[in-house]
Chain A
Amino acid sequence: MIDTAVAAAVTAFARLVTGARGNWLGCLPDPRPRVYFANHSSHGDFVLVWTVLPPALRRTTRPVAGADYWLRGSLRRFIVERVFHAVLIERDPEKRRLDPIRQMVDALDERASLILFPEGTRNTTTAPLLPFKSGLYHLAKARPGIELVPVWIENLNRVMPKGEFIPIPLLCTVTFGAPLLLAANEERAVFSERCRAALLALAPRRGEGR
C-alpha cells in the first residue's frame, strides 16, 4: 500500500522536475520480458525509464542496481527493494555470494523485464558512453531469445550533476530504439560494440561542432 503511494509520488516528482517523455522510436511497449539497456549518468536514471513506461509495464519491470550503493541506509533500501523491486547485484567479485547473471536470468524467467546499465557505473566523463561490461553479453547468451532494447536517457546528467543538490528543471527524454538479439556464434566484443553503437545512435546530434 505505502509502496504504491511512494511509487506514484516518485514518478510524479520525476515528471514535474524533468517533464519526462518516452519516445518509442524503434519499438512499442510490450509486456513480454525484455532487457532495456541504457546509458548511466545519474542515480535517477532507472526512475526516469520506469516513469515513462506504461503503468501496466512498470509493475513487471525491475531495475538492476548495485547492492553496495542501494543497501546503505534504510530509505534507499526501502525505495529500491519495496518500491522498484530492484534486482540487487554485488558489483565487487570478491564479496559476491550470488552470481549476478543467475539473478538476472531468474528474474527474466519469472516474466520480469530488466533495466540494465551495461557501463556498470555512472559515467562522469565527457565521453557520451563508457565501454560496456560483459553482463549484457552473458545475459543474452543465457537467454538468447530475449529482446534487448537500447534506451537513451537525455539530459538527466544536466538536471542533477554529481555533487549538486538543487535539480535544474530541464526537459528529459527517454528514447527507445529497435530491439537487438544476440546472433548465433557472435563474439562478445562484436556483440558489445553492436549494442553500444545502437545505443549511441539514439543520442541527439545537438550542439555538434562544439
Chain B
Amino acid sequence: MSYGRETIALFGGVIGVLILASIVGFVLERRAGADDATVANLNARIKAWWVMVALIGVAFACGKAGVIVLFAFASFAALREFITLTATRHGDHIALAAAFFVVLPLQYYLIWIEWYGLYSIFVPVYVFLLLPIVAALRGDTTDFIGRVAEVQWGLMISVFCVSHVPALLTLPIPGLEGRQLLLIAFLILVVQSSDVLQYVWGKLLGRHKIAPVLSPSKTVEGLIGGVASATLLGAALWWITPFSPWQAGLMALLINLMGFCGGLVMSAIKRDRGVKDWGHMIEGHGGMLDRLDSVIFAAPIFFHVTRYWWSV
C-alpha cells in the first residue's frame, strides 16, 4: 500500500486543525464562562470531532474491512434514528426486522465483494419491490402507502446512500489503484469542513436567514462563506485525487451544494416530526443523521460522477 504518506499528511493536518479548535474553544470558555450555551455546545462538538476522527483513523488503518464495518455501523445508527420517527405499525414488524438484519448487512456484503451490478440496484429495485410484499401479507392496510414509503426512504437514506462512501473503494481508477481510501478522505473532509465552515461563517457574519422555516440557523453568509472556503479546500486537496486542481474544485463545489441541500431536506423531515435532532448519540451534534445528512446527499453523486468520468 502506498497511500501511507498522503494519509499521514491528511491526518496530521486534521489533528492540527482540531488542536487549534480546542485551544480556541478553551479561550472562548475562559472568556464567556462555563454557562454560555453556544460555547459549551461548540466545545462539545469539538470533543466529538476528536472521537470521530479517531474512529475514522482506526478504520483507515484497518483498510477496506475497517471502513466497511465503520459505515455499516453508521448505517445501523442512522436507520434506527430514521425508523424511530416514522409511523410504522405492528404489521410492519417483519419488514422492519428484514430492513435491519437482512438488507443492511447484505448491502455491505455486496460492497465487500465489490459486486457493483447488484449493490447499486439492490435497495432501489429488489428491496423496493420485496418489502411492500412482506408488509402487505400481514394484511394491515391502514396508511399502507405512507408506511411502506417511510421504510423505503429510511433504507435509501440510511443504508443505500451511506454505503456509497465505502463503495468508493471498489472503483478501479487508473493511477489510484489501492489508494481509493483517499477518495473517501476527500469526500468526508470536504463535505464535513463545509458543514463546519458554514457554521463558523454563519456565527461570525450571519445576518440573512436562508430558510427560516426549515433551518433557522442557516444563513446566506454562512452558505456562501462555507461553500466557497470548503471548495477552495477541495481544490487545494487535488493532489490526493485523480482530479486536476480545477476539477477537484468543481467536484468539491458539487458535493458541498449537495451536502447543503441534504441538510435542508433532512431538516424538513425533523420539522414535520416535531423534533430538533434525530437523536442524542453524538454529544453537541445530535444524532448520527444530524452529522451525516450532508454526506448522505453528497456520496452517491460523488460516487457516480467519479465513476462515470474517471474509472475504467
Contacts and interface: CB of A to CB of B under 8 A. Distances in A.
Interface of A: 19, 21, 155, 158, 161, 164, 166, 168-171, 204-207, 210
Contact of A170 (B84, B90, B143, B146): B84
The number of chain B residues touching the other chain, given as a range, is 20 to 34
B101 interface: yes
A19 B81 CA distance: 10
Contacts of A205: 274
Contacts of B88: 158
Given A164-B93, A168-B97, 5 more contacts: A169-B80, A171-B81, A206-B85, A206-B273, A210-B146
B279 interface: yes
What is the predominant secondary structure among interface residues of chain B facing chain A?
helix
A171 B100 contact: no
A66 B101 CA distance: 33
A205 B81 CA distance: 17
B106 interface: no
Given A168-B96, A170-B80, A210 B87 contact: yes
Nearest to A154: B84
A39 B44 CA distance: 34
A168 B87 CA distance: 14
Interface of B: 76, 80-81, 83-85, 87-88, 90, 93, 96-97, 100-101, 143, 146, 273-275, 279-281
B90 A161 contact: yes
B80 A166 contact: no
B93 A21 contact: no
Please give me the 4 A-B residue pairs with the lowest Cβ-Cβ distance, nearest first.
A171-B84, A166-B97, A207-B87, A161-B90
Contacts of A206: 85, 87, 273-275
